[in-house]
Amino acid sequence: MENPTYKQIYFFKNLLELIIVWRAEKFPPPDLPDRTGLFKQMQEYCGEFQKSLEEELLGPVESMEQKKKLMDMYVQLQQILSGGWVLLEMKSPQSEADLVLQAVVGHVSEMMNSILEKLECPIPGSSKYPDLADDREHIADLFEKTKPFWTGDLHMGLMGERIKEYIIGTDLRFFPGKDAGQYFLKVLSSVGGWDWSEDLAHPFSPSGRFLFYMNYNSKAFMDDLVRCIQHKVSEQPTWDAKFVVLLDCRKKMLQMHFRKDAVLNPAYQGVREYLESWFEAEIFYLENAGVLVEGNKPRTVRTEVNPANKLMCNLSADQLSILLRAMDEIRLVEARSLSQVYRMIVPYLSTKNRKHLSADSLRVKSYQVERSDREQVLEVLDRMASKVSAL
């Protein structure tokens, strides 16, 4: 396949970047054609892309090299599509830039479908794949029976709109479509049995708790959860009171149920993971901001431990960071935050190559996991499991 096929992908990628500038500055970049010209260009580039695929690949894709190139193009187009949907999800008045952006999303989706056809993969709404049609029919039936739940609340309403888009085959955010159908089936099967009673002591509304349970990882929804917590914290008169409320909200969030087998967008972090990262940053801020603003006595900070009193760990610093994060995530130790786990444990450890380890450095490393380090930690845990079994 010749490189000119990528020309059309780069056009849409550059156009998305220009739209971002357009939305931010409220007027189009000077070198951008008018809307009519842009629509014409998009239609031409999309047609060229589809024609190029037909000319390059007259029949089914058979060689591994061809498949790799098609998948590379598909991934690049999916990145453009995801970027477009992120922008459209942002709350802003409808503008000319948004109309162009919607056209970008539509054309990019067509190009992705062209690739799926060549790879002989299922396309959302395609009659060639009756199993998807059956799913949509079942989802439509369940949606009709649960209709009262999808009105009156902003995010439940948005979820309802997404389900309707999927039923009629216009929800272009999910490919190839089967995973989205399974997610919506789980949502519709769970909504009727949910406890919708109000709990004024809880930071989240009943619908917020339900969507958290269903791992509805829409960026707009997760930002709204954060705003609810920020509102409760901001009402407190002192830094200590803010800190206590923040810890209480985190405790309630960690006690909430959530489905590990459900996620709206598999390519993005889950709701719980997102909130845990946010809580960690906020707790670190409040732990230190109160000292600076109100002159409170700093919370206990451990001084450097004598090297002779440290335990040497036969893992590397990177591997140790993974293990400590896993301890926190399965609640093997009780801590206010992930930062506290590292601050309380790391000063007493060293490795073969490093006598002094930084708690903050190891915490950061735990978010940048290398495959080889993960495998080494898993091997160590397997050996520990074998030892426990033999006891």
pLDDT at 215 (0 to 100): 93
Task: Based on the fold, state whether residues 41 and 75 are members of the same structural domain.
Answer: yes
Q: Is the dihedral of CA 358, 361, 363, 369 positive or negative?
A: negative
Domain end position, chosen among 89, 118, 147: 118
Domain for residue 28, yes or no? yes
Cα(77)–Cα(389) distance, integer angstroms: 49
Task: Based on the fold, state whether residues 105 and 23 are members of the same structural domain.
Answer: yes
Task: Based on the fold, state whether residues 159 and 219 are members of the same structural domain.
Answer: no
Cα(234)–Cα(241) distance, integer angstroms: 10
Domain for residue 79, yes or no? yes
Q: Number of folded domains in the chain?
A: 4
Task: Based on the fold, state whether residues 166 and 238 are members of the same structural domain.
Answer: no
pLDDT in tens, the chain (391 residues): 444 467 888 888 888 888 888 877 777 777 778 878 888 888 888 888 888 877 766 555 566 777 777 777 877 887 787 777 777 666 555 577 777 888 888 788 778 777 777 766 544 444 433 444 557 788 888 888 888 888 767 788 888 888 887 777 655 454 435 577 888 888 998 888 888 888 888 888 889 999 999 999 888 889 889 998 999 998 988 877 888 888 889 889 988 988 888 888 877 788 998 898 888 888 877 766 654 444 554 444 444 567 778 899 999 888 998 999 888 888 888 877 777 888 889 888 988 878 888 787 787 777 777 888 889 999 999 999 998 988 8
Task: Based on the fold, state whether residues 85 and 149 are members of the same structural domain.
Answer: no
Cα(214)–Cα(183) distance, integer angstroms: 9
Over the stretch 27-52, which tens digit does the pLDDT of each residue have? 777 777 887 888 888 888 888 888 88
Task: Based on the fold, state whether residues 287 and 329 are members of the same structural domain.
Answer: no
Residues, the chain: 391
Task: Based on the fold, state whether residues 267 and 316 are members of the same structural domain.
Answer: no
Domain for residue 300, yes or no? no
Cα(83)–Cα(219) distance, integer angstroms: 12
Q: What are phi and psi of 175, to 5 degrees?
A: -135, 140
Cα(335)–Cα(115) distance, integer angstroms: 48
| CB crowding 352-389: b at 16 or more within 10 Å, else e | eeeeebebeebbebbeeeeeebeebbeeeeeeeeeeee
Domain for residue 352, yes or no? yes
* Domain range enclosing 341: 307-390
pLDDT at 261 (0 to 100): 85
Task: Based on the fold, state whether residues 134 and 159 are members of the same structural domain.
Answer: yes
Cα(324)–Cα(342) distance, integer angstroms: 7
Task: Based on the fold, state whether residues 103 and 137 are members of the same structural domain.
Answer: no
Give the 3-state secondary structure of residue 311. strand
Domain for residue 172, yes or no? yes
Domain end position, chosen among 191, 220, 239: 191
Task: Based on the fold, state whether residues 136 and 113 are members of the same structural domain.
Answer: no
Domain for residue 359, yes or no? yes
Domain for residue 43, yes or no? yes
Task: Based on the fold, state whether residues 12 and 42 are members of the same structural domain.
Answer: yes
Task: Based on the fold, state whether residues 113 and 139 are members of the same structural domain.
Answer: no
Domain end position, chosen among 72, 94, 118: 118
Domain for residue 158, yes or no? yes
Please state the pTM of the whole predicted model: 0.48
Give the 3-state secondary structure of residue 171. coil
